[in-house]
Structure 1
Amino acid sequence: MPSETDPLINTTSLKAESATGGKNDPHTAWHLKTYTAGEDASRLAAAAKEMGLNRIRAARAQVRRRQLLTTLERAVFEETKEHNVWETVAGVAGNILEWYDFAVFGYFGDIIGEVFFPPNQSGHAATMESFAVFGGAFLARPLGGLLLGYLGDVYGRKKALTVSIFLMAFPTFAMGCLPSYEQVGYTSTILLIIIRLLQGMSVGGQLMSSLIFTLESVPHEQWGLYGSFVWATGNLGVLLGSIVGYAIRSSFNHEELVKYGWRIPFLSGIVVSIAGFYLRSSEDNDEKNDGRKEKDNKQGDCPQKQNPIHAMLATENLRPLVASAMVPMLWSSGFYLSFVWMAVYMTDLVDNPVPHALAVNSMALLGSVVLFFPIAGWLSDKYGRRTIMSIGGASIALLAPFLIEAIGKGDPWLSFWSQMFLGICLSFWGSPMGAWLVESFEPEARLTSVATGYNTAHAIVGGSTPAVATFLVDAVGPTSPGWIYVIISLIAMAGLWVVAPPPPSASSSVAVVMPMPATKELDPEQQPEREPLV
């Protein structure tokens, strides 16, 4: 039986090895015995499956980049197609449910403030404290991004994705079981903070693992579109949290919400673990570097892989790393202001509360950063990342203060269209940003670098923005949070155009991690022609 490092032999190379002998190589002899000319596709598929799914994935990487030249490759492709569809479904479901878990805290921020903090505080102090805990989770995101990024770069993107899903599901369920401040005092507050830190670590690695896991398996010219799908599924999870929040708030009165109603969405968060169990069951199929690959590297079969943390901190990587922390600031603060904090703003913080605020928030979120996201991603594939992102950044800087003022007038339709337009502007910035981040780094330390930079942005501005906006409403006025967009837009645009290195020329290629099995070296006349893998 062949080992994991056996060469993958196609029909053409088999003939070549037969002509040159190959009798001294036991692996070649096995393949010659298994893949005799004229065998039907079903037997080839069965033999390919015996070779191990890592080998099958490597063959599929070839199939994606050139025509199906051999019966073996065609059989391998068909054998793994259905399996990968279900992996994709599990990954998407995990992405949706994980972001549902994380965002639902924000939609019940005011209720959580009453449950876990001292009562009878002046103004909106309890709500501000609740959003401070919400922001505290973002402080753990860079650590989660670093740890899970290292895990993904060394042991595989899927392993990092699986760990992040479990790290979100169980703490979320536990949060629904926490005692209140009335029952145990500040112990409840401390437990709440610990759970939010665990959730922050999970989100720190989850989205970037999902993004890179997806983009590294599709053609580079479609990275903007496919990256937008990953981002949109996360936004769909936030939308799901908004819908659930609206349903629960509509079903219970305030006293019931404080007593037990707020716990329901957190207890249901355990559903996310289903996707994690499925991915865990197929984890051995990860095409990235696993323990066996690392062992082979140490034995000299291929060059030793560089430590991704060292690669991330290399001098030539510093400009992209700093830019990757500046550019996402606009998406981070803008999204949480526009679609998490905004629901509480329209309900509790404005002088004229917006009727059915969570329903307005949900529809605006669906129409903009879910449905419009693929359009913005496709446009970035066609016209370039910087061009599309600059349209979004400039629009937010110019229009956000006026849109926030319009939302604060209390009219539901005016609030909906203002929030919708704000979301479309954010889509022009956020949708291409995923592909832009991945393109900024080499594959060897890609996940570690992207996750660290992206989550640093969230730690600096994303988590603190709702609390700062709530403070500004009390200290300055209900329309003052609009200027947060302006300041953050200028910082992010500077990161995109000044700090980030110039994008590669059209003729240069972007490296993609696609490990290929070694092939037996043949005479030049016998070597089959293959398109270069770029």
Structure 2
Amino acid sequence: MSKSEIITECQPNARRLNKKDFKTLALSSLGGTLEFYDFVIYALYVDLIVAPLFFPDSLSEFTKELFAWGIFAAGYLVRPVGGIIMAHFGDKIGRKKMFTLSVALMALPTFIIGILPTYESIGMLAPILLLLMRMLQGAAIGGEMPGAWVFIAEHTPKQRYGFGVGTLTSGITGGIMLGFLITIIIDMIFNKTEVLDYAWRIPFIIGGVFGLISVYLRRFLSETPIFKELSARKALEKNIPVMSVIKRHKIACLLVALVTWSLSTTIMVGVLITPGKILGGMYKIAAIDCRIAGCIVALMLTIGCILFGWLEDKIGTKKNMMIAWGGLAITSLYFYASLSINIDLSTLYFNYGLFGLFTGAIATTPIVGTRAFPPAIRYSGLSFSYNLAYALFSAITPTLTLYLLNPSHILGEYFYMGAGLYIAFVAILAALTGFWPLARSGWQEPKVTKR
């Protein structure tokens, strides 16, 4: 096989998935599940735990909530830094080493949050330490997700590429479902006073312990065939990988940024914000029912990622993205239009579950993004563009969503459709990127014209 053939391939030649492939998928997905669980569990406890326990009572409720969500946002803002650093070494010394480091970097701060003293014990040092732990978590997740996608893309046979990346993404999003499940169990076992006193620590400690277990399990993974080939042929990037990305792959960065906008909005608004802020806040649905609804949408999201990953291999990128993102646009409008204070719970669960299935469209983001860059700088290219876009749009999205949901702002009497319209907009945007040749075929080595 020539050097050019190695460079243009995204994964090994087509064959059936074997036992080793399934082992790689299982271990990678499990680690992703536990790592994403560690990251999102904070979001599920922001209002209940962080605001009242980590800030002084002298602050107003609004100010405490603002600071609590600010610490949450800090985890997103630091993602590009962690992602770029880990991707740099992932392209230089190997995918596996950074893949293992990222989960270790997530597990330790998660465990520390679980044993962290509150404001009552150590004053302002409590929120400062919490902020530091969130920043470490953000750096870890910045390296984990692009690293995981690249790792699986370079391990999975060509005709199973979509299924492999989709299955891994389902494992990562499964962390959201695990977070909802744990919080439901905590709410069922402990009363509110007990949760505030000590029980809130349990999900973080569990996450930290299982994260360390996943570090151990990743020892049994092997380096990707593509990286081994590049290393053996001394075809690794000689320059700083991210500089090569910025200089020579601006179009690929733009493509990844656009589909990342769609992914980040779908997850943040549709899965993380909706249960508490919209179902519980706007429609006064009981907290336990909101968490159950969140668990359902996360479960269907996990299934949807596998479905649209499988479809990618069967019908191709353009058709798959039209079905997946087009379906999300329609079900998003339908779901948010169906909400009311008196909505029947079975109707709510069904509609939210249907919407959740099509949120699985997010699996097409790593499918498109991973192959948009050449292997020598693939990790850096995906990590740089994905994390930078995620940080930018995650900073904008909560404020924009709250603005759209305000009846005194632009949507007026149709404010209740704010979240649905926003998700539908980014879904249509993602569907249109499926017509982009780079999205459909990925990076191709320039042809050399013979004289």
What's the CA shift for 1:83? 6.8
Secondary structure of the corresponding residue to residue 156 of structure 2: coil
TM-superposed deviation, 1:206: 0.6
Q: Report the secondary structure of 2:325's partner residue.
A: helix
Asked if 1:275 is matched to 2:214, the reply is yes
Residue 133 of structure 1 and its aligned partner are, at CA, apart by: 1.8
Q: Is the 8 A contact 2:318 2:440 kept in 1?
A: no
Offset at residue 281 of structure 1 (A): 6.7
Residue 95 of structure 1 pairs with residue 38 of structure 2: no
Alignment of 1:232-251 (within 5 A): 232-251=170-189
How far the C-alpha of 1:213 sits from its partner, in A, is 0.9
Structure 1 residue 164 corresponds to structure 2 residue 97: no
Tell me the residue number matched to 1:25: none
Aligned equivalents of 2:368 and 2:135: distance in 1? 28
How many angstroms apart in 2 are the aligned matches of 1:399 and 1:89? 30
* 1:396 shift after superposition: 4.1
Matched, 1:135 2:73: yes
Instruction: Give 1:384 shift.
Output: 2.3
What is the match of residue 362 of structure 1? 295
Aligned to 2:245: 312
Instruction: State the identity %.
Output: 22
Deviation at 1:244, TM superposition (A): 0.2
Describe how 1:66-85 pairs up with structure 2 within 5 A. none
- Secondary structure, counterpart of 1:305 in structure 2: coil
1:101-120 → structure 2 map (5 Å cutoff) = 101-111=38-48, 112-119=50-57
- Please list, as runs of the form range in 1=range in 2, the aligned pairs for 1:435-474 lying within 5 A after superposition: 435-462=367-394, 464-466=396-398, 469=401
Indicate yes or no: 2:358 matched with 1:425.
yes
- Which residue number corresponds to residue 208 of structure 1? 146
Between the aligned partners of 1:400 and 1:504, the Cα distance in structure 2 is: 24
Task: Tell me, in whole angstroms, the C-alpha distance in 1 between the residues paired with 2:70 and 2:396.
Answer: 7
Q: 1:254 aligns with which of 192, 211, 224?
A: 192
CA contact (8 A) 2:154 2:224 kept: no
1:497/1:401 Cα in 2 relative to 1: closer, same or farther (>3 Å)? closer
**2:82 pairs with 1:152:** no
1:134 is displaced (CA, Å) by 1.4
Mapped partners of 2:210, 2:440: distance in 1: 45
Q: Distance in 1 between matches of 2:416 and 2:381?
A: 31
> Are 1:100 and 1:238, in contact at CA under 8 Å, matched by a contact in 2?
yes
Q: Distance in 2 between matches of 1:447 and 1:377?
A: 20
1:325: which partner in 2?
A: 257
Quickly say closer, same or farther: Cα 1:479–1:267, change in 2 above 3 A: farther
Q: How far apart are the structure 2 equivalents of 1:110 and 1:171?
A: 20
- The AA in structure 1 aligned to 2:97 is K
Flag structure 2 segments of 5+ consecutive residues without an equivalent.
1-5, 446-451
Q: Cα deviations across residues 380-415 of structure 1 (Å, max 9, x unaligned)?
A: 222222332234434444553552353453532232
> What is the alpha-carbon distance in structure 1 between the residues aligned to residue 61 and residue 400 of structure 2?
15
**Residue of structure 2 equivalent to 1:179:** 117
User: After TM superposition, where is structure 1 displaced by more than 6 Å over at least 4 residues in a row?
Assistant: 81-84, 508-511
Larger Rg: 1
Please tell me whether the aligned partners of residues 326 and 495 of structure 1 are also in contact (alpha carbons under 8 angstroms).
yes
Q: Secondary structure at the match of 1:356?
A: helix
Amino acid at match of 2:356: G
380-389 or 171-180: bigger deviation = 380-389
**What is aligned with 2:336?**
404
CA distance in 2, matches of 1:475, 1:207: 37
Q: Distance in 1 between matches of 2:440 and 2:277?
A: 45
Are 2:281 and 1:349 equivalent residues in the alignment? yes
- Cα deviation for residue 286 of structure 1 reads 6.1
Aligned positions, number:
430
Q: What's the secondary structure of 1:108's corresponding residue?
A: helix
Q: Closer, same or farther in 2 for the Cα pair 1:185/1:469, shift >3 Å?
A: farther
Partner residue, 1:189 = 127
In structure 2, distance between residues paired with 1:154 and 1:212: 14
Pair 85,217 (structure 1): closer, same or farther in 2 beyond 3 Å:
same
Structure 1 residue aligned with 2:448: none
Cα 1:405/1:123, change in 2 over 3 Å: farther
Report the structure, 1 or 2, having the larger helix content: 2
Does the 8 Å contact 1:396/1:425 carry over to 2?
yes
The aligned amino acid for 2:93 is: Y
Tell me the TM-score normalised to structure 2 length. Answer: 0.83
**Cα gap change, 1:180 to 1:166, in 2 (>3 Å):** same
For 1:431, the aligned partner's letter is A
Match of 2:348 in 1: 415
Once the two structures are TM-superposed, the CA of residue 499 in structure 1 deviates from its matched residue by 11
Q: CA RMSD in A?
A: 3.6
Is residue 486 of structure 1 aligned with residue 421 of structure 2?
A: yes
Distance 1:473 1:146 in 2: 35
Decide whether aligned partners of structure 1 residues 83 and 389 sit closer, same or farther in structure 2, where only a CA change above 3 A counts.
closer
Shift of 1:450: 0.8
